[in-house]
Amino acid sequence: MRVSVGPVVDEGGWGYSVNLVQAKSVRDVASMLDCLSIPQIGDPFIIPKPEEPYASLCKTSPGKLKIGIVLDELTGVPVDPEVVAAVEAAGKALASMGHGLEHAKVDMGGVEVLSATTDLFFFGFDSRLDGYAQRSGHRPGPDTLEPVIYAVYQAAKNITPTRFIAATNAANLARRRLATFFKTYDIWLSPTTARVAEPWGRYHLSKPGVGWHNLIEELFKVPCQFTIPHNIMGTPAMSLPLAMHSSGLPIGVQIAAKPAAEHLVLQLAASLEAAMPWKARIPPLHVSRG
Q: Which helix (H) or strand (E) holds 190?
A: strand 187-191
Of 30, 34, 35, which is closest to residue 267 (Cα–Cα)?
30
pLDDT recorded at residue 4: 64
pLDDT in tens, 37-83: 887 787 777 778 899 999 999 999 999 999 999 999 999 999 999 99
Stated pTM of the model: 0.91
Reading phi first (left if > 0) and then psi (alpha if -120 to 50, else beta), residue 231 is in alpha
Cα gap 157→163, rounded to integer Å: 11
Cα gap 153→176, rounded to integer Å: 30
- Weakly modelled stretches of the chain, pLDDT under 70: 4-13, 290
Of 152, 263, 261, 141, which is closest to residue 216 (Cα–Cα)?
152
Cα gap 150→144, rounded to integer Å: 9
Residue-range domains of the chain with CATH: 6-110+172-193+222-275 (3.90.1300.10)
For residue 9, list its beta bridge partners.
18
End-to-end CA distance of the chain, in Å? 32
Which 3-state string (H, E, C) describes 132-188?
Answer: HHHHHCCCCCCCCCCHHHHHHHHHHCCCCHHHHHHHHHHHHHHHHHHHCHHHHCCEE
pLDDT in tens, 245-273: 999 899 999 999 999 999 999 999 999 99
Decide: 261 and 236 in contact? Cβ < 8 Å: yes
- Taking residue 71's Cβ as centre, other Cβ atoms within 10 Å add up to 19
Helix (H, G, I), strand (E, B) or coil at 30: helix
Cα gap 71→286, rounded to integer Å: 32
pLDDT recorded at residue 47: 75
pLDDT recorded at residue 284: 75
Cα gap 277→273, rounded to integer Å: 5
Cα gap 99→113, rounded to integer Å: 32
Residues in the chain: 290
Are β-strands 100-104 and 187-191 bridged in parallel, bridged antiparallel, or unpaired?
unpaired
Cα gap 228→178, rounded to integer Å: 11
